[in-house]
Chain A
Amino acid sequence: MKDDLKDKAKSRELSLIIESSPHIRDKDTTPKIMYRVIISLMPAVATSFYFFRWRAILLILISTASAMITEVLCLMARRRTLKTVLDGSAAITGLLLALTLPPSLPPAMAAIGASVAISLGKQVYGGLGHNIFNPALVGRAFLQAAFPVAMTTWIPPVTLKVDVATYATPLGNLKFQNAIALGTLTPLKDLFWGNVGGCIGETSAAALLIGAIYLILKKTIDWRIPAGIILSLSAFTTVFWLINPDRYAPPLFHLFAGGLIIGAFFMATDMVTSPITRAGIWLYACGIGLIIGVIRLFGGLPEGVMYSILLMNTFVPLFNHYLRPRILGERRPKK
Protein backbone atom coordinates (compact mmCIF):
# COMPACT_ATOMS: atom_id res chain seq x y z
CA MET A 1 0.00 0.00 0.00
CA LYS A 2 2.64 2.45 1.11
CA ASP A 3 4.73 1.80 -1.97
CA ASP A 4 1.72 2.45 -4.07
CA LEU A 5 1.25 5.88 -2.55
CA LYS A 6 4.87 6.69 -3.07
CA ASP A 7 4.67 5.76 -6.71
CA LYS A 8 1.66 7.93 -7.15
CA ALA A 9 3.43 10.85 -5.51
CA LYS A 10 6.39 10.25 -7.77
CA SER A 11 4.36 10.22 -10.93
CA ARG A 12 2.64 13.39 -9.90
CA GLU A 13 6.02 14.95 -9.31
CA LEU A 14 7.24 13.87 -12.71
CA SER A 15 4.33 15.49 -14.44
CA LEU A 16 5.56 18.90 -13.36
CA ILE A 17 7.33 20.94 -15.94
CA ILE A 18 10.81 21.59 -14.69
CA GLU A 19 12.78 24.26 -16.39
CA SER A 20 16.19 25.42 -15.42
CA SER A 21 16.93 29.08 -14.93
CA PRO A 22 17.19 31.70 -16.40
CA HIS A 23 13.47 32.30 -16.57
CA ILE A 24 13.74 35.94 -17.43
CA ARG A 25 14.91 36.50 -20.95
CA ASP A 26 15.74 39.62 -22.86
CA LYS A 27 16.35 40.24 -26.50
CA ASP A 28 20.10 39.83 -26.26
CA THR A 29 21.34 36.83 -28.17
CA THR A 30 24.86 35.51 -28.30
CA PRO A 31 25.65 37.01 -31.73
CA LYS A 32 24.21 40.36 -30.68
CA ILE A 33 26.39 40.52 -27.57
CA MET A 34 29.44 39.33 -29.45
CA TYR A 35 29.12 41.88 -32.23
CA ARG A 36 28.59 44.60 -29.65
CA VAL A 37 31.93 43.61 -28.08
CA ILE A 38 33.61 43.65 -31.49
CA ILE A 39 32.27 47.15 -32.16
CA SER A 40 33.48 48.30 -28.75
CA LEU A 41 36.98 47.12 -29.64
CA MET A 42 37.09 49.17 -32.86
CA PRO A 43 38.59 52.30 -31.26
CA ALA A 44 41.43 50.11 -29.97
CA VAL A 45 41.90 48.60 -33.43
CA ALA A 46 42.02 52.10 -34.91
CA THR A 47 44.63 53.29 -32.43
CA SER A 48 46.68 50.15 -33.01
CA PHE A 49 46.79 51.10 -36.68
CA TYR A 50 47.72 54.65 -35.77
CA PHE A 51 50.62 53.56 -33.58
CA PHE A 52 51.90 50.42 -35.29
CA ARG A 53 50.54 50.70 -38.84
CA TRP A 54 50.08 47.67 -41.06
CA ARG A 55 51.86 45.28 -38.70
CA ALA A 56 48.96 45.67 -36.29
CA ILE A 57 46.27 45.22 -38.93
CA LEU A 58 48.05 42.17 -40.32
CA LEU A 59 48.25 40.56 -36.88
CA ILE A 60 44.60 41.29 -36.17
CA LEU A 61 43.44 39.86 -39.51
CA ILE A 62 45.60 36.73 -39.29
CA SER A 63 44.71 36.03 -35.68
CA THR A 64 40.97 36.48 -36.27
CA ALA A 65 41.03 34.39 -39.43
CA SER A 66 43.02 31.63 -37.74
CA ALA A 67 40.60 31.60 -34.81
CA MET A 68 37.59 31.25 -37.11
CA ILE A 69 39.21 28.58 -39.29
CA THR A 70 40.15 26.58 -36.19
CA GLU A 71 36.59 26.95 -34.93
CA VAL A 72 35.27 25.53 -38.22
CA LEU A 73 37.73 22.62 -38.10
CA CYS A 74 36.91 21.81 -34.49
CA LEU A 75 33.18 21.97 -35.10
CA MET A 76 33.58 19.71 -38.11
CA ALA A 77 35.64 17.24 -36.07
CA ARG A 78 32.99 17.31 -33.35
CA ARG A 79 30.24 16.99 -35.98
CA ARG A 80 28.43 20.08 -34.76
CA THR A 81 26.54 22.61 -36.79
CA LEU A 82 28.79 25.16 -38.39
CA LYS A 83 26.30 27.96 -37.82
CA THR A 84 27.88 28.94 -34.52
CA VAL A 85 31.04 30.07 -36.28
CA LEU A 86 29.22 33.22 -37.24
CA ASP A 87 28.08 34.00 -33.69
CA GLY A 88 31.20 36.11 -33.37
CA SER A 89 32.69 34.38 -30.35
CA ALA A 90 35.64 32.94 -32.28
CA ALA A 91 36.22 36.26 -33.97
CA ILE A 92 36.35 38.00 -30.59
CA THR A 93 38.85 35.49 -29.26
CA GLY A 94 41.08 36.06 -32.30
CA LEU A 95 40.69 39.83 -32.07
CA LEU A 96 41.33 40.02 -28.32
CA LEU A 97 44.36 37.78 -28.66
CA ALA A 98 45.78 39.94 -31.46
CA LEU A 99 45.31 43.08 -29.39
CA THR A 100 47.51 41.60 -26.67
CA LEU A 101 50.39 40.62 -28.96
CA PRO A 102 53.61 42.56 -29.42
CA PRO A 103 53.63 44.37 -32.79
CA SER A 104 56.85 42.72 -33.94
CA LEU A 105 55.51 39.18 -33.48
CA PRO A 106 55.74 37.10 -36.69
CA PRO A 107 52.19 36.60 -38.04
CA ALA A 108 52.65 32.80 -38.14
CA MET A 109 52.98 32.81 -34.36
CA ALA A 110 49.79 34.83 -34.04
CA ALA A 111 48.04 32.20 -36.17
CA ILE A 112 49.36 29.41 -33.92
CA GLY A 113 48.24 31.30 -30.83
CA ALA A 114 44.72 31.90 -32.13
CA SER A 115 44.45 28.27 -33.17
CA VAL A 116 45.52 27.08 -29.71
CA ALA A 117 43.17 29.59 -28.09
CA ILE A 118 40.17 28.12 -29.88
CA SER A 119 41.15 24.44 -29.86
CA LEU A 120 42.78 24.04 -26.43
CA GLY A 121 41.15 27.05 -24.82
CA LYS A 122 37.56 26.47 -25.86
CA GLN A 123 36.65 23.52 -28.05
CA VAL A 124 38.30 20.77 -25.97
CA TYR A 125 35.98 21.70 -23.13
CA GLY A 126 32.96 21.41 -25.40
CA GLY A 127 32.74 24.81 -27.04
CA LEU A 128 31.35 28.18 -26.06
CA GLY A 129 29.99 28.25 -22.54
CA HIS A 130 31.92 25.25 -21.29
CA ASN A 131 35.42 26.63 -21.14
CA ILE A 132 37.07 27.29 -17.78
CA PHE A 133 39.65 29.79 -18.99
CA ASN A 134 39.37 32.85 -21.16
CA PRO A 135 40.32 31.39 -24.57
CA ALA A 136 42.24 34.44 -25.79
CA LEU A 137 44.38 34.36 -22.65
CA VAL A 138 44.99 30.62 -23.05
CA GLY A 139 46.33 31.37 -26.53
CA ARG A 140 48.47 34.17 -25.20
CA ALA A 141 49.84 32.07 -22.33
CA PHE A 142 50.73 29.35 -24.83
CA LEU A 143 52.55 31.83 -27.05
CA GLN A 144 54.35 33.27 -24.03
CA ALA A 145 55.64 29.83 -23.12
CA ALA A 146 56.31 28.73 -26.69
CA PHE A 147 58.05 31.82 -28.03
CA PRO A 148 59.31 33.68 -24.97
CA VAL A 149 61.76 35.83 -26.89
CA ALA A 150 59.38 36.94 -29.62
CA MET A 151 56.67 37.61 -27.03
CA THR A 152 58.87 39.93 -24.99
CA THR A 153 60.53 41.90 -27.76
CA TRP A 154 58.94 45.29 -28.24
CA ILE A 155 59.26 47.99 -30.86
CA PRO A 156 58.44 51.67 -30.41
CA PRO A 157 55.22 53.04 -31.98
CA VAL A 158 55.85 54.81 -35.30
CA THR A 159 54.55 58.05 -33.80
CA LEU A 160 57.56 58.24 -31.47
CA LYS A 161 59.92 58.48 -34.46
CA VAL A 162 62.78 56.89 -32.58
CA ASP A 163 65.08 54.68 -34.59
CA VAL A 164 65.78 51.72 -32.33
CA ALA A 165 65.24 48.03 -32.92
CA THR A 166 63.84 47.28 -29.49
CA TYR A 167 62.08 49.47 -27.00
CA ALA A 168 61.04 48.72 -23.43
CA THR A 169 57.39 48.84 -22.39
CA PRO A 170 56.57 51.25 -19.55
CA LEU A 171 56.32 48.33 -17.11
CA GLY A 172 59.52 46.72 -18.36
CA ASN A 173 61.22 50.06 -18.06
CA LEU A 174 59.97 50.30 -14.48
CA LYS A 175 61.04 46.82 -13.47
CA PHE A 176 64.30 46.25 -15.34
CA GLN A 177 65.75 49.67 -16.07
CA ASN A 178 65.38 51.36 -12.72
CA ALA A 179 63.01 53.95 -14.20
CA ILE A 180 62.02 55.67 -10.95
CA ALA A 181 65.57 56.32 -9.81
CA LEU A 182 66.58 57.55 -13.26
CA GLY A 183 63.43 59.65 -13.61
CA THR A 184 62.49 57.96 -16.88
CA LEU A 185 59.12 56.66 -15.73
CA THR A 186 56.70 56.99 -18.66
CA PRO A 187 54.52 60.11 -18.24
CA LEU A 188 50.81 59.46 -17.56
CA LYS A 189 49.75 61.46 -20.59
CA ASP A 190 51.60 59.11 -22.94
CA LEU A 191 50.22 56.10 -21.11
CA PHE A 192 46.68 57.38 -21.38
CA TRP A 193 46.79 58.15 -25.10
CA GLY A 194 48.97 55.17 -25.93
CA ASN A 195 52.14 56.75 -27.23
CA VAL A 196 54.28 54.02 -25.67
CA GLY A 197 55.72 50.61 -26.50
CA GLY A 198 53.56 47.60 -25.78
CA CYS A 199 51.03 45.17 -27.18
CA ILE A 200 49.25 46.52 -30.23
CA GLY A 201 45.85 47.05 -28.63
CA GLU A 202 46.63 47.75 -25.01
CA THR A 203 48.76 50.86 -25.26
CA SER A 204 45.95 53.39 -25.55
CA ALA A 205 43.86 53.46 -22.40
CA ALA A 206 41.64 56.14 -23.92
CA ALA A 207 40.55 54.05 -26.91
CA LEU A 208 39.81 51.04 -24.73
CA LEU A 209 37.82 53.11 -22.24
CA ILE A 210 35.54 54.46 -24.98
CA GLY A 211 34.59 50.91 -25.93
CA ALA A 212 34.32 49.87 -22.29
CA ILE A 213 31.91 52.70 -21.44
CA TYR A 214 29.73 51.69 -24.39
CA LEU A 215 29.63 48.08 -23.15
CA ILE A 216 28.83 49.12 -19.58
CA LEU A 217 26.02 51.40 -20.76
CA LYS A 218 24.61 48.56 -22.85
CA LYS A 219 24.96 46.32 -19.76
CA THR A 220 26.96 43.81 -21.79
CA ILE A 221 29.68 43.73 -19.19
CA ASP A 222 29.28 43.98 -15.45
CA TRP A 223 30.85 47.21 -14.16
CA ARG A 224 31.62 45.49 -10.87
CA ILE A 225 34.42 43.40 -12.35
CA PRO A 226 36.60 46.24 -13.70
CA ALA A 227 35.68 48.32 -10.65
CA GLY A 228 36.83 45.57 -8.29
CA ILE A 229 40.07 45.06 -10.19
CA ILE A 230 40.85 48.76 -10.35
CA LEU A 231 39.97 49.37 -6.70
CA SER A 232 42.02 46.47 -5.36
CA LEU A 233 45.03 47.19 -7.56
CA SER A 234 44.89 50.90 -6.65
CA ALA A 235 44.62 50.12 -2.96
CA PHE A 236 47.52 47.69 -3.14
CA THR A 237 49.83 49.94 -5.14
CA THR A 238 48.89 53.05 -3.13
CA VAL A 239 50.00 51.42 0.09
CA PHE A 240 53.43 50.60 -1.29
CA TRP A 241 53.75 53.90 -3.09
CA LEU A 242 53.06 55.78 0.14
CA ILE A 243 55.58 53.66 2.02
CA ASN A 244 58.36 54.16 -0.50
CA PRO A 245 57.71 56.39 -3.53
CA ASP A 246 61.35 56.03 -4.57
CA ARG A 247 60.86 52.39 -5.28
CA TYR A 248 57.23 51.88 -6.23
CA ALA A 249 55.34 53.56 -9.05
CA PRO A 250 52.20 55.63 -8.30
CA PRO A 251 48.83 53.83 -8.57
CA LEU A 252 47.68 55.81 -11.61
CA PHE A 253 50.74 54.61 -13.49
CA HIS A 254 49.77 51.03 -12.74
CA LEU A 255 46.19 51.62 -13.88
CA PHE A 256 47.14 52.91 -17.31
CA ALA A 257 50.28 50.86 -17.97
CA GLY A 258 50.39 47.45 -19.59
CA GLY A 259 47.30 45.36 -20.15
CA LEU A 260 45.28 46.40 -17.15
CA ILE A 261 42.50 48.28 -18.97
CA ILE A 262 42.00 45.68 -21.69
CA GLY A 263 42.27 42.91 -19.10
CA ALA A 264 39.88 44.44 -16.61
CA PHE A 265 37.21 45.55 -19.09
CA PHE A 266 37.44 42.99 -21.88
CA MET A 267 39.14 39.83 -20.61
CA ALA A 268 38.05 39.43 -16.99
CA THR A 269 34.45 40.28 -17.93
CA ASP A 270 34.08 37.29 -20.26
CA MET A 271 30.60 36.03 -19.37
CA VAL A 272 31.58 32.37 -19.47
CA THR A 273 34.61 32.58 -17.25
CA SER A 274 33.47 35.10 -14.64
CA PRO A 275 31.28 34.36 -11.59
CA ILE A 276 27.53 34.85 -11.69
CA THR A 277 26.80 36.04 -8.18
CA ARG A 278 27.55 39.46 -6.71
CA ALA A 279 29.73 38.16 -3.92
CA GLY A 280 31.57 35.93 -6.36
CA ILE A 281 32.15 38.83 -8.74
CA TRP A 282 33.67 41.05 -6.05
CA LEU A 283 35.91 38.28 -4.77
CA TYR A 284 36.98 37.39 -8.30
CA ALA A 285 37.72 40.99 -9.27
CA CYS A 286 39.61 41.82 -6.09
CA GLY A 287 41.61 38.61 -6.45
CA ILE A 288 42.67 39.61 -9.96
CA GLY A 289 43.67 43.10 -8.86
CA LEU A 290 45.71 41.83 -5.92
CA ILE A 291 47.53 39.18 -7.95
CA ILE A 292 48.37 41.76 -10.62
CA GLY A 293 49.77 43.97 -7.90
CA VAL A 294 51.85 41.21 -6.36
CA ILE A 295 53.28 40.13 -9.74
CA ARG A 296 54.03 43.68 -10.89
CA LEU A 297 55.63 44.77 -7.63
CA PHE A 298 57.41 41.62 -6.49
CA GLY A 299 57.35 39.06 -9.30
CA GLY A 300 59.99 38.27 -11.87
CA LEU A 301 57.76 39.45 -14.70
CA PRO A 302 56.99 43.10 -15.41
CA GLU A 303 53.31 42.39 -16.20
CA GLY A 304 50.82 40.03 -14.54
CA VAL A 305 47.36 40.71 -15.97
CA MET A 306 47.24 37.56 -18.08
CA TYR A 307 48.30 35.15 -15.35
CA SER A 308 46.13 36.73 -12.67
CA ILE A 309 42.98 36.50 -14.78
CA LEU A 310 43.78 32.90 -15.72
CA LEU A 311 44.42 32.06 -12.07
CA MET A 312 41.18 33.62 -10.88
CA ASN A 313 39.31 31.87 -13.72
CA THR A 314 40.08 28.61 -11.96
CA PHE A 315 38.20 29.84 -8.88
CA VAL A 316 35.03 30.76 -10.76
CA PRO A 317 33.30 27.35 -10.49
CA LEU A 318 34.11 27.37 -6.78
CA PHE A 319 32.64 30.86 -6.29
CA ASN A 320 29.56 29.89 -8.28
CA HIS A 321 29.09 26.84 -6.09
CA TYR A 322 29.66 28.28 -2.63
CA LEU A 323 28.41 31.82 -3.05
CA ARG A 324 24.94 31.01 -4.36
CA PRO A 325 22.33 33.45 -3.13
CA ARG A 326 20.06 31.81 -0.58
CA ILE A 327 16.41 31.43 -1.44
CA LEU A 328 14.26 33.70 0.71
CA GLY A 329 13.65 32.00 4.04
CA GLU A 330 16.21 29.26 3.47
CA ARG A 331 18.54 28.66 6.36
CA ARG A 332 22.07 27.52 6.30
CA PRO A 333 21.99 23.84 7.26
CA LYS A 334 23.41 23.25 10.72
CA LYS A 335 26.52 21.17 10.87
Chain B
Amino acid sequence: MNLATRMIVTLTSIGLISGSFLAIVGQVTKERIIFNKKHEIEMAALKVVPGASNVKMIYEERDFAIFEDRDETGNLIGYALQAAGTGFQDKISLGVGVSPDLNTVLSLIIIDQKETPGLGAKITDEISFLQYWKNRDCSKSLILRKPPVDNPNSLAPNEVNAITGATISSQAVLNIVNEAIKKARQLQAEGKLSERH
Protein backbone atom coordinates (compact mmCIF):
# COMPACT_ATOMS: atom_id res chain seq x y z
CA MET B 1 0.00 0.00 0.00
CA ASN B 2 1.45 3.38 -0.89
CA LEU B 3 1.44 6.31 1.50
CA ALA B 4 -1.51 8.17 0.01
CA THR B 5 -3.80 5.17 0.24
CA ARG B 6 -2.62 4.45 3.74
CA MET B 7 -3.41 7.99 4.83
CA ILE B 8 -6.85 7.85 3.28
CA VAL B 9 -7.59 4.43 4.71
CA THR B 10 -6.52 5.33 8.27
CA LEU B 11 -8.35 8.62 8.44
CA THR B 12 -11.49 7.14 6.91
CA SER B 13 -11.56 4.20 9.25
CA ILE B 14 -10.88 6.35 12.33
CA GLY B 15 -13.64 8.67 11.21
CA LEU B 16 -16.02 5.78 10.59
CA ILE B 17 -15.34 4.12 13.92
CA SER B 18 -15.68 7.39 15.85
CA GLY B 19 -18.76 8.31 13.91
CA SER B 20 -20.58 5.07 14.56
CA PHE B 21 -19.55 5.16 18.19
CA LEU B 22 -20.89 8.68 18.58
CA ALA B 23 -24.09 7.73 16.80
CA ILE B 24 -24.75 5.14 19.47
CA VAL B 25 -23.93 7.55 22.32
CA GLY B 26 -26.12 10.17 20.69
CA GLN B 27 -29.03 7.75 20.43
CA VAL B 28 -28.72 6.65 24.05
CA THR B 29 -28.52 10.15 25.51
CA LYS B 30 -30.80 12.01 23.11
CA GLU B 31 -34.06 11.32 24.86
CA ARG B 32 -32.73 12.18 28.27
CA ILE B 33 -31.23 15.45 27.11
CA ILE B 34 -34.47 16.58 25.50
CA PHE B 35 -36.36 15.40 28.54
CA ASN B 36 -34.03 17.35 30.85
CA LYS B 37 -34.55 20.57 28.95
CA LYS B 38 -38.32 20.18 28.84
CA HIS B 39 -38.52 18.93 32.38
CA GLU B 40 -36.64 21.90 33.76
CA ILE B 41 -39.01 24.42 32.23
CA GLU B 42 -42.12 22.41 33.09
CA MET B 43 -41.02 21.98 36.70
CA ALA B 44 -40.48 25.72 36.88
CA ALA B 45 -43.91 26.32 35.36
CA LEU B 46 -45.47 24.05 37.95
CA LYS B 47 -43.62 25.65 40.83
CA VAL B 48 -44.49 29.27 40.15
CA VAL B 49 -48.22 28.72 40.56
CA PRO B 50 -48.76 27.36 44.07
CA GLY B 51 -51.17 24.41 44.20
CA ALA B 52 -50.85 23.51 40.54
CA SER B 53 -50.66 19.82 39.78
CA ASN B 54 -50.29 19.84 36.02
CA VAL B 55 -49.15 22.20 33.33
CA LYS B 56 -49.69 22.40 29.61
CA MET B 57 -47.93 24.65 27.18
CA ILE B 58 -50.50 26.71 25.29
CA TYR B 59 -48.35 29.26 23.52
CA GLU B 60 -44.75 29.44 22.40
CA GLU B 61 -42.51 31.83 20.55
CA ARG B 62 -38.86 32.77 20.70
CA ASP B 63 -37.82 33.44 24.33
CA PHE B 64 -41.42 33.35 25.47
CA ALA B 65 -43.92 30.63 26.40
CA ILE B 66 -47.20 30.40 28.31
CA PHE B 67 -48.29 27.40 30.34
CA GLU B 68 -51.70 26.70 31.83
CA ASP B 69 -51.55 25.60 35.45
CA ARG B 70 -54.47 23.51 36.71
CA ASP B 71 -55.15 22.01 40.11
CA GLU B 72 -56.15 18.39 40.74
CA THR B 73 -59.80 18.95 39.80
CA GLY B 74 -58.80 20.57 36.53
CA ASN B 75 -59.60 24.16 37.41
CA LEU B 76 -57.40 26.83 35.86
CA ILE B 77 -55.58 28.44 38.75
CA GLY B 78 -53.03 30.50 36.88
CA TYR B 79 -50.59 30.87 34.03
CA ALA B 80 -46.88 30.36 34.07
CA LEU B 81 -45.01 32.67 31.76
CA GLN B 82 -41.55 31.65 30.71
CA ALA B 83 -39.53 34.54 29.34
CA ALA B 84 -35.96 35.55 28.67
CA GLY B 85 -34.20 38.86 28.18
CA THR B 86 -30.92 40.68 28.55
CA GLY B 87 -29.39 40.88 32.00
CA PHE B 88 -26.21 42.58 33.13
CA GLN B 89 -23.90 40.02 31.51
CA ASP B 90 -25.97 37.55 29.55
CA LYS B 91 -29.49 36.35 28.96
CA ILE B 92 -31.68 35.82 32.02
CA SER B 93 -34.39 33.19 31.62
CA LEU B 94 -37.16 33.12 34.20
CA GLY B 95 -40.59 31.76 34.97
CA VAL B 96 -43.31 33.88 36.52
CA GLY B 97 -46.64 32.64 37.80
CA VAL B 98 -49.65 34.90 37.33
CA SER B 99 -53.30 34.65 38.32
CA PRO B 100 -55.83 33.72 35.58
CA ASP B 101 -56.88 37.39 35.25
CA LEU B 102 -53.19 38.33 34.79
CA ASN B 103 -53.45 40.94 37.55
CA THR B 104 -51.39 39.27 40.28
CA VAL B 105 -47.86 37.89 40.18
CA LEU B 106 -47.96 34.74 42.28
CA SER B 107 -44.24 34.01 42.40
CA LEU B 108 -41.04 34.17 40.41
CA ILE B 109 -38.32 31.69 39.63
CA ILE B 110 -35.03 32.21 37.78
CA ILE B 111 -34.32 29.37 35.37
CA ASP B 112 -31.02 30.47 33.93
CA GLN B 113 -28.65 33.39 34.49
CA LYS B 114 -24.99 34.30 34.28
CA GLU B 115 -24.96 37.43 36.44
CA THR B 116 -22.01 38.42 38.63
CA PRO B 117 -21.57 35.84 41.40
CA GLY B 118 -22.33 37.29 44.80
CA LEU B 119 -24.02 40.34 43.31
CA GLY B 120 -26.39 40.06 40.37
CA ALA B 121 -26.55 36.29 40.85
CA LYS B 122 -28.49 36.98 44.02
CA ILE B 123 -31.58 37.21 41.81
CA THR B 124 -31.80 33.44 42.30
CA ASP B 125 -31.75 33.91 46.06
CA GLU B 126 -35.03 33.45 47.90
CA ILE B 127 -34.21 35.66 50.87
CA SER B 128 -32.62 38.60 49.12
CA PHE B 129 -34.84 38.75 46.06
CA LEU B 130 -37.44 36.15 45.16
CA GLN B 131 -39.48 36.41 48.37
CA TYR B 132 -40.50 39.95 47.45
CA TRP B 133 -42.20 38.66 44.32
CA LYS B 134 -44.97 36.78 46.11
CA ASN B 135 -48.48 38.13 45.38
CA ARG B 136 -47.61 41.41 43.69
CA ASP B 137 -50.26 43.49 42.03
CA CYS B 138 -49.36 43.69 38.37
CA SER B 139 -52.50 45.29 37.00
CA LYS B 140 -50.15 48.19 36.29
CA SER B 141 -46.42 47.80 35.62
CA LEU B 142 -44.35 46.59 38.54
CA ILE B 143 -41.72 48.98 39.81
CA LEU B 144 -38.43 48.52 41.61
CA ARG B 145 -37.89 49.81 45.14
CA LYS B 146 -34.36 51.16 45.48
CA PRO B 147 -32.69 51.31 47.85
CA PRO B 148 -34.49 48.23 49.15
CA VAL B 149 -36.49 48.38 52.37
CA ASP B 150 -36.07 45.92 55.23
CA ASN B 151 -39.72 45.38 55.93
CA PRO B 152 -41.56 43.76 52.98
CA ASN B 153 -44.86 45.09 54.32
CA SER B 154 -43.80 48.65 53.66
CA LEU B 155 -43.60 47.93 49.94
CA ALA B 156 -46.48 49.17 47.82
CA PRO B 157 -48.53 46.30 46.26
CA ASN B 158 -46.84 46.83 42.91
CA GLU B 159 -43.30 47.29 44.24
CA VAL B 160 -40.50 44.76 44.56
CA ASN B 161 -37.24 45.18 46.43
CA ALA B 162 -34.06 45.66 44.40
CA ILE B 163 -30.83 43.93 45.42
CA THR B 164 -28.31 46.24 47.05
CA GLY B 165 -25.42 46.80 44.66
CA ALA B 166 -27.11 44.96 41.81
CA THR B 167 -29.72 47.39 40.57
CA ILE B 168 -29.03 46.54 36.95
CA SER B 169 -29.75 42.83 37.36
CA SER B 170 -32.86 43.55 39.47
CA GLN B 171 -34.09 46.02 36.87
CA ALA B 172 -33.43 43.49 34.10
CA VAL B 173 -35.59 40.87 35.83
CA LEU B 174 -38.31 43.43 36.39
CA ASN B 175 -38.28 44.47 32.73
CA ILE B 176 -38.49 40.87 31.56
CA VAL B 177 -41.47 40.21 33.85
CA ASN B 178 -43.30 43.40 32.89
CA GLU B 179 -42.71 42.68 29.23
CA ALA B 180 -43.94 39.07 29.60
CA ILE B 181 -47.13 40.13 31.38
CA LYS B 182 -47.80 42.76 28.72
CA LYS B 183 -47.38 40.16 26.02
CA ALA B 184 -49.67 37.70 27.83
CA ARG B 185 -52.32 40.36 28.24
CA GLN B 186 -52.19 41.14 24.55
CA LEU B 187 -52.54 37.44 23.70
CA GLN B 188 -55.49 37.19 26.09
CA ALA B 189 -57.18 40.13 24.40
CA GLU B 190 -56.71 38.38 21.08
CA GLY B 191 -58.41 35.37 22.58
CA LYS B 192 -55.39 33.13 22.29
CA LEU B 193 -55.53 32.09 25.93
CA SER B 194 -59.08 30.78 25.52
CA GLU B 195 -60.21 28.90 28.57
CA ARG B 196 -60.98 25.34 27.73
CA HIS B 197 -62.28 23.33 30.63
Interface residues in chain A, defined as those with a beta carbon under 8 Å from any beta carbon in chain B: 148-149, 152-153, 166, 300
Nearest CB of chain B from residue A282's CB, rounded to whole Å: 37
What is the bound-complex CA distance between A166 and B147, given in angstroms? Answer: 9
Closest to A176 in B: B167
* Complex A-B: 10 CB contacts under 8 Å: A148-B118, A148-B119, A148-B165, A149-B119, A149-B164, A149-B165, A152-B165, A153-B164, A166-B147, A300-B168
Interface residues in chain B, defined as those with a beta carbon under 8 Å from any beta carbon in chain A: 118-119, 147, 164-165, 168
4 shortest interchain CB distances as A-B pairs: A149-B165, A148-B165, A149-B164, A148-B119
Nearest CB of chain A from residue B115's CB, rounded to whole Å: 12
Closest to A165 in B: B147
What is the bound-complex CA distance between A84 and B118, given in angstroms? Answer: 39
Nearest CB of chain A from residue B159's CB, rounded to whole Å: 19
Chain B residues with Cβ below 8 Å from A149 are: 119, 164-165
Chain A residues with Cβ below 8 Å from B118 are: 148
Chain B residues with Cβ below 8 Å from A153 are: 164
Nearest CB of chain B from residue A178's CB, rounded to whole Å: 14
What is the bound-complex CA distance between A300 and B118, given in angstroms? Answer: 19
Nearest CB of chain A from residue B169's CB, rounded to whole Å: 12
Chain B residues with Cβ below 8 Å from A152 are: 165
Given A148-B119, A149-B164; 4 other pairs, CB 8 A cutoff: A149-B165, A152-B165, A153-B164, A300-B168
What is the bound-complex CA distance between A300 and B116, given in angstroms? Answer: 15
Nearest CB of chain A from residue B112's CB, rounded to whole Å: 23
What is the bound-complex CA distance between A59 and B36, given in angstroms? Answer: 52
What is the bound-complex CA distance between A166 and B164, given in angstroms? Answer: 12
Closest to A149 in B: B165
What is the bound-complex CA distance between A229 and B107, given in angstroms? Answer: 51
Chain B residues with Cβ below 8 Å from A300 are: 168
Nearest CB of chain A from residue B136's CB, rounded to whole Å: 24
What is the bound-complex CA distance between A152 and B119, given in angstroms? Answer: 13
Nearest CB of chain A from residue B148's CB, rounded to whole Å: 11
Closest to B88 in A: A300
What is the bound-complex CA distance between A166 and B118, given in angstroms? Answer: 21
Most buried by B among A149, A152, A153: A149
Chain A residues with Cβ below 8 Å from B164 are: 149, 153
What is the bound-complex CA distance between A56 and B54, given in angstroms? Answer: 59
What is the bound-complex CA distance between A166 and B148, given in angstroms? Answer: 12
Nearest CB of chain B from residue A173's CB, rounded to whole Å: 14
Closest to A146 in B: B118
What is the bound-complex CA distance between A301 and B164, given in angstroms? Answer: 15
Closest to A166 in B: B147
Nearest CB of chain B from residue A102's CB, rounded to whole Å: 13
What is the bound-complex CA distance between A166 and B146, given in angstroms? Answer: 12
Nearest CB of chain A from residue B166's CB, rounded to whole Å: 9
Chain B residues with Cβ below 8 Å from A148 are: 118-119, 165
Nearest CB of chain A from residue B144's CB, rounded to whole Å: 13
What is the bound-complex CA distance between A196 and B74, given in angstroms? Answer: 62
Nearest CB of chain A from residue B135's CB, rounded to whole Å: 28
What is the bound-complex CA distance between A148 and B168, given in angstroms? Answer: 14
Nearest CB of chain A from residue B119's CB, rounded to whole Å: 6
Chain A residues with Cβ below 8 Å from B119 are: 148-149
Nearest CB of chain A from residue B90's CB, rounded to whole Å: 16
Nearest CB of chain B from residue A51's CB, rounded to whole Å: 22
Most buried by B among A148, A153, A166, A300: A148
Chain A residues with Cβ below 8 Å from B168 are: 300
Chain B residues with Cβ below 8 Å from A166 are: 147
What is the bound-complex CA distance between A66 and B149, given in angstroms? Answer: 35
